[in-house]
Amino acid sequence: MTASTALLLADLLGVAVFAASGASAAVAKRLDLFGVTFVGFVAALGGGILRDLVIGETPPLAFADWRYAATAAVSSAAVFWLHPQFNRLRTTVLVLDAAGLALFTVTGTIVALAAGVPAVGACLVGMLAGIGGGLGRDLLTGEIPAVLRREIYAVAALVGAVAVVLLDRTGLAGPGPLVTAAVVIFAVRLVALRRRWSAPVASDRSGPSR
Amino acid sequence: MTASTALLLADLLGVAVFAASGASAAVAKRLDLFGVTFVGFVAALGGGILRDLVIGETPPLAFADWRYAATAAVSSAAVFWLHPQFNRLRTTVLVLDAAGLALFTVTGTIVALAAGVPAVGACLVGMLAGIGGGLGRDLLTGEIPAVLRREIYAVAALVGAVAVVLLDRTGLAGPGPLVTAAVVIFAVRLVALRRRWSAPVASDRSGPSR
Amino acid sequence: MTASTALLLADLLGVAVFAASGASAAVAKRLDLFGVTFVGFVAALGGGILRDLVIGETPPLAFADWRYAATAAVSSAAVFWLHPQFNRLRTTVLVLDAAGLALFTVTGTIVALAAGVPAVGACLVGMLAGIGGGLGRDLLTGEIPAVLRREIYAVAALVGAVAVVLLDRTGLAGPGPLVTAAVVIFAVRLVALRRRWSAPVASDRSGPSR
C-alpha cells in the first residue's frame, strides 16, 4: 500500500465516521431516509467543501471524486437501518470522530498552505475543514452548533492546525511530524472527553439571559 | 421564440415560483417587507448560487444577470401584498414548485457536466441546484429544512439528475430527452404529493429522542 | 497617514465592532470562550468572505490578511471578559455597528464593481457584505436573523449600495462621494434606530400563523 493509498483510505474512514455522526443526529430528529443521508453527507463532506471553496479549488473534492459521496451515502444509510446497534457503539463513535477531526484538520491545513494561503489563514482553513461538517450538521437539524459550546473540540483542531503551520514554516513538515500533529489533536480531544474539559464560559450575569 | 429565449423564460418562471414560496414562508413568520423579499431571493436563487460556487463560475448567474434578481424581487413583493389571495392558490403553487424543482435540477446537472464535474458530482450539483433554495429558505426562517423530512422531494430531484447524467453519457442528451427527464421529476413529485408518499423514517426507538 | 492606511484602519474598526456584536450575542447564549470567538469571527468576517466567494477572489481577504482574523479574535475575547461593562456601552455599540454597516456596504459594492460584477449584482454583493456577518451570527446562535425582521437595516445598506453604483456609473465615484454614500447609510440607520422605523409587515391574517 503506497502512502497516497493510505492517505485516501484514512480520508474515507474520516468521511464514514463523520457521516455516521450526522446520520445519527438526523435519525434522532426523525428525518426520513433521504434527510438522514443528506445530513450525513453534509457532516462528512461539509468541512472539505468549505475548505475547497475558500482556496478556490472547484469543483470541491467531494464533487470531483465519487468515492467520497459514495462512502458518505453508504455510511449514512447503514446508520439509518442499524441505528439501535449504532447507539451502543457510542464510545467507539466518539473515538473515531476524534480521529476524523484530527485527520481533516491536518490535511485541511496542508492543503491550504499548498494553495498559498498565509499562515494564520491556513490555520483557520484547517480548523474549518475539521469542524465545518459538524457545524453544517447542527444547522440543518436546528441545533446551536455543539462545537460552539461543548468541551475542547474546535480548540483541539486549532492547536493542531497551528502545529502543522509551525512544522511547515520550520521545514519539518514530513510525514512523521504531521502524523504527530494529528495524534496530538486526537489525544487532546480524547483527554478532554474523558475529563469533561471545556473552554471557560463567561461568568454568570444577574437576571435572565438576553 | 428561440430555444434560448424559451429556456430563459422557463428559468425565470422557476425563479418567480420559488421566490413566491420563500416569501410565503417569510410572511408566515411575520418578517417585514425586506425580510420577505430577502427570503424570497434566497429561495429563488440560492440553489443556482450554490451550483455556480461549486463549479467555480463567479460571479454566479444570480449576480451577473439582473433579470434573475428583478424577477425574484417582484415575485416576493407581490406575495407580500397579495398573500391572502396567494394562500388560496396553494395547489397551484405546489404544482409550479414541482415544475421549478424539475427545471432547476435538469439545468443544474447540465451546467455541472458542461463545467467538467464528473458524473456522481454532477448529480449532486443538480440536486443541490433544485433543493438549495428551499434549504436556504428554511434555515433563514428557523425551520429544519422541509426537504429533509417531507415526502419525495429531493429524491425526485436526485432521480432526475441521475437520468440526465445517463442521457449525457450515452450521447442522448438532446432537448427531447432532457425535457423528458424534467417531466419525470415533475410527475414523480406530483404523484408523491397526491399520494403523500414519503421516504421511510427509521423505526421508532424506545425512550425519548436523543 | 496615507489613504490606503486610513481605509485599512477603518476596515479593521468595522471588523472589531462587528466581532463585538457577535461575541455579545454568543455570551448571551452561554457559549464558551471558543464559541464566543467563533461567532465574533463569523459576524466580523462573514460578510467579506461571502463577498469574496461570490466575486471569485480566493482565498478571501479574511484568510489572506492575518490582521483581520487577529482583530476579530482580540475584540471577541475582550467582550468575553468584559461583557458586563460592554453591555453598558450598548448605545455606543449600536452607533459603531451602523458605521460598520456603512463601511462594509460601500467597500463591498466598490470591490464587486471592480471585479466586473454588473450594476444590480454589485448592489446585492455590497448589501450582502454589509449584512452577511449579522446573518451568520444569528444562524449560529439559533435566531431568525434580526436583519430580516427589525428596523431599517438591510434597507439602509441597499440604498447605499445603489448610491455607490450610480456614482460609479456617472463617473463621480471619487473619495468624497463615496464617503458621502457611507455617511448616508450611517445616518439612515441611526435615524431608523432613533425613531424605531421599520419596513412594513404584512397585514395580520385571520387564524394562527402557518
Q: Where are the domains of chain C?
A: 3-195
For residue B165, how many other CB atoms are within 10 A of its CB? 24
The nearest alpha carbon in chain A to B147 belongs to A35
Distance CA C36, CA C25 (A): 8
- For residue C66, the chain A residues in CB contact (below 8 A) are 118-121
C154 interaction partners in chain B (CB closer than 8 Å): 34, 38
Give per-residue pLDDT as tens, B114-161: 999 999 999 999 999 999 998 888 888 888 787 776 667 888 888 899
Q: Are B86 and B93 in contact (CB under 8 A)?
A: yes
CA C24 to each of CA B167, B192, C85, C134, C189: distance values in angstroms, whole numbers, following the listed order? 53, 46, 11, 12, 20
Write the secondary structure of C56-92 as one string of H (helix), E (strand) and C (coil).
CCCCCHHHHCHHHHHHHHHHHHHHHHHHHHHHHCHHH
pTM higher than the cut 0.80: yes
The residue assigned the cell 489525544 is A187
Instruction: Name the nearest CA neighbour of B32 among C206, C145, C207.
Output: C145
Which has more confidence, A152 or C119? C119
Interface B–C counts its CB contacts (< 8 A) at 97
Task: State the smallest CA–CA distance between residue A202 and chain C in angstroms.
Answer: 6
Which chains touch C (3+ CB pairs under 8 A)? Answer: A, B
Nearest chain A Cα distance for residue C162, angstroms: 28
Q: Which chain B residues are within 8 Å of A33, Cβ to Cβ? A: 199-202
pLDDT classification of B207: cutoffs 50, 70, 90: very low
Inter-residue contact C151 to C122 (CB < 8 Å): no
Between A54-68, B45-59, B148-162, C126-140, the lowest mean confidence (pLDDT) is in B148-162
Q: Can the peptide bond before residue B175 be classed as cis, meaning omega within 30 degrees of 0?
A: no
Query: Which range is most confident: A104-113, A200-209, B189-198?
Result: A104-113
* Interface probe, candidates A63, A71, A74, chain B, greatest B C-beta count within 10 A: A63
List the beta bridge partners of residue A201. C32
Determine which of A21-30, A38-47, C105-114 has the lowest per-residue pLDDT on average: A21-30
Among the partner-chain residues B125, B144, B154, the one whose CB lies closest to the CB of A142 is B144
Tell me the residue ranges of DSSP E strands in chain C.
Answer: none
Q: Scanning every residue of chain B, which has its alpha carbon at the shortest distance from the alpha carbon of C51?
A: B59
Nearest CA in chain A to C25: A210
* pLDDT over threshold 70, residue A125: yes
Asked if B146 is an interface residue toward chain A (Cβ–Cβ < 8 A), one would say: no
C108 pLDDT above the threshold of 70: yes
pLDDT at res. A86: 67
- Mean pLDDT lowest among B86-95, C27-36, C90-99, C154-163: B86-95
C114 lies within 8 A of chain B by CB: no
User: CA angle A188-A96-A167, nearest 5°?
Assistant: 45
Put simply, whether B83 touches C (Cβ < 8 Å) is yes
Residues of C in contact with B140 (CB under 8 A): 135, 139, 144-145, 148
What is the percentage of chain C residues whose pLDDT exceeds 70?
87
* Residue in chain A nearest B154 by alpha carbon: A34
B55 contact C CB<8A: no
In angstroms, the CA A158 to CA A174 distance is 20
Q: Which residue of C has its CA nearest to B54?
A: C53
Lowest mean pLDDT among A10-14, A126-130, B3-7: B3-7
Is the Cβ of B147 closer than 8 Å to some Cβ of chain C?
Answer: no
- From chain B, the residues in CB contact with C108 under 8 A are none
DSSP at B67? H
- Respond yes or no on whether ipTM tops 0.85: no
Q: What is the dihedral of CA C180, C184, C185, C188, to 10 degrees?
A: 170
Do B146 and B209 touch, CB atoms closer than 8 A?
no
Chain C residues in contact with B35 by the CB 8 A cut-off are: 145, 147-149, 199
B124/A63 Cβ within 8 A: yes
Contact state of B63 with C125 under an 8 Å Cβ cutoff: yes
Q: What is the pLDDT of residues C122-174, one digit of tens each?
A: 999 999 999 999 888 888 888 878 777 666 788 888 889 999 999 988 887 77
* Range in A2-16, A98-112, A179-193, B53-67 the model is least confident about: A2-16
- The neighbouring-strand residues paired with A32 are B201
Who contacts C171 (Cβ-Cβ below 8 Å, separation ≥6)? Answer: none
Neighbours of chain B (3+ CB pairs under 8 A): A, C
Mutation pick from A57, A124, A189 vs chain C, by most beta carbons of C within 10 Å, is A124
**Under an 8 A CB cutoff, do B64 and C117 touch?**
yes
CB contact under 8 A, A63 and B125: yes
**pLDDT surpassing 60 at residue C206:** no
Chain A residues in contact with C50 by the CB 8 A cut-off are none
**Smallest Cβ distance to C154: which of B29, B34, B49?**
B34
Judge whether C62 and C68 are in contact, CB under 8 Å: yes
